[in-house]
Amino acid sequence: MKTLAVLCLFAELAFSYSFVASQPGIKNTHFLARRQQSGGANPGGPLNCPFNPDHIFPTPVTDQFPYNSAKGGKPGKGIGGYLVPAIGDEAHKFIAPTDRDIRGPCPGLNAAANHGFIARDGITNYTELVDAVQNVYNMGYDLANFLAVFSIFIADGDLVTKKLSIGCDATTRTSFNPVLTGSQPGLVGHNKFEADSSLTRNDFFLGKGDNFNFNGTLFGMMTKTTGGTFDLEGLAKFRYERYVQSRRDNPNFFFGPLGVFTHGAASFVYELFPSGTEGYVPNLQNTAAFFGAQQEADGTWSHIPERIPENWTTRQKPYSLLDVGGQIFSMYSKYPVGFGGNVNGKFIGLDFPPYIQGGNLTAAKPSDYACLLYQLVAGPIPSSLNGIITPTVTALQFVLTAIGGESFTNLGCPIPLTK
């Protein structure tokens, strides 16, 4: 019975996905979100992706340096307020990446890699990610698990090895069998997890494929718009400005349901980066350290490796799924914008029932946003299944199990796929 249910489910998935390359579940058949895969020697492609033959596993937390005691992909203590890195913890001191190490579009993960909480070569896996974001940032287990599952299983990594590149395409190292799986773009994969109108990264199309390097002009704009405060109000405004800029300038602009993720990531700037030693108030110096932004004499911003600022302590309470849903809600409500994309010079709204109708978001409360995120993970086809292999029932079942509906059903989310 179970097998049959999953089989039917798969048939339905394959059907509903056939008309949209990368944004499953969206109802407008005339409308394509272009995947614009990097590939080859393009930015983010496999040929110029750094290669480090010495993959060294990160040093796990110990009794001497416990942080949140998160180990083995399990929930940690969830009690923050501690110094990172701890005094004397040599294994987690800052070391700049070499040109053999991969870094990508996420400042939080780049900083974690530069401090050895995930492998310093930038090839990581599920367990490392879930542990690292709990130990370094006191991210809640539910959100940590969600992000790791989404990025590895659904978007950019490998279903079997559970490995992921935090930047460019390193399929030879993430995939259990590159011939069978096809390419695994890593976190730079456009319109998978990475999306348009990011804070400090170019749109894929406007950057000629560079959607992952730090852009100092954008960091300068963010600093100016937020008045250097980097708070909810300022970031909501800057997210809006970036949306307007991209929708105007990028003929391939796409702001899908995933767009709420980029609002979520923006909330990390004022929820996860601020330090207890500075009263948890975000400021320019602290934000610049995490983004690797360095101001030059002429006022412009260049890039240095991301690092955890000196004397930095984590937030007190874990940052949970419901918390991020609440921040997305607050941020979006300040400047509501249409969901959809530019097609032949015209913006077309999309449907993502029940949360988005005709390009308008109908989600009305924080848990709706969390549920929207759940519907997203329960949707896309994992990139592991992109290749010539026909997705097996086992593989699909694995994805659905890994997502683990519990944290979402607890929030009252309808279960889109597992039943």
Ligand X SMILES: *[C@@H]1O[C@H](CO)[C@@H](O)[C@H](O)[C@H]1NC(C)=O
Which residues in this chain contact ligand HEM in the complex, by CB under 6 A?
105-109, 129, 133, 137, 139, 147-148, 151, 187, 193-195, 198-201, 262, 265, 268-269, 272-273
Nearer to ligand HEM, 123 or 129 (CB): 129
Nearer to ligand X, 31 or 374 (CB): 31
Task: State yes or no: residue 229 binds ligand X (CB under 6 A).
Answer: no
Nearer to ligand X, 214 or 374 (CB): 214
Task: State yes or no: residue 310 binds ligand X (CB under 6 A).
Answer: yes
Site for ligand X in 159-198 (CB under 6 A): 162
Q: How far is CA 19 from CA 14, 156, 253, 339, 401, in A?
A: 10, 21, 19, 18, 26
Task: State in angstroms the smallest separation of the CB of 16 from ligand HEM.
Answer: 24
Task: State yes or no: residue 311 binds ligand X (CB under 6 A).
Answer: yes
Task: State yes or no: residue 358 binds ligand X (CB under 6 A).
Answer: yes
Nearer to ligand HEM, 354 or 404 (CB): 404
Site for ligand X in 134-153 (CB under 6 A): none
Instruction: Report the distance separating Cα 142 and Cα 109, nearest Å.
Output: 17
Residue nearest to ligand HEM (CB): 108
Task: State in angstroms the smallest separation of the CB of 114 from ligand X.
Answer: 16
- Which among 255, 268, 219 is positioned nearest to 336, based on CA atoms? 255
Judged by beta carbon distances under 5 to 8 A according to partner kind, the member of ligand X, ligand HEM, none in contact with residue 201 is ligand HEM
Judged by beta carbon distances under 5 to 8 A according to partner kind, the member of ligand HEM, ligand X, none in contact with residue 128 is ligand X
Nearer to ligand X, 128 or 323 (CB): 128
Site for ligand X in 33-92 (CB under 6 A): 57-58
Task: State in angstroms the smallest separation of the CB of 127 from ligand X.
Answer: 3
Task: State in angstroms the smallest separation of the CB of 240 from ligand X.
Answer: 14
Judged by beta carbon distances under 5 to 8 A according to partner kind, the member of ligand HEM, ligand X, none in contact with residue 129 is ligand HEM
Chosen residue from 145, 202, 267, 342 binding ligand X by CB under 6 A: 202
Task: State in angstroms the smallest separation of the CB of 49 from ligand X.
Answer: 19
Residue with tokens 């050895």: 116
Nearer to ligand X, 10 or 347 (CB): 347
Chain residues that interact with ligand X, rule: CB under 6 A: 57-58, 125-128, 162, 202, 207, 215, 217-218, 310-311, 338, 340, 349, 358-360
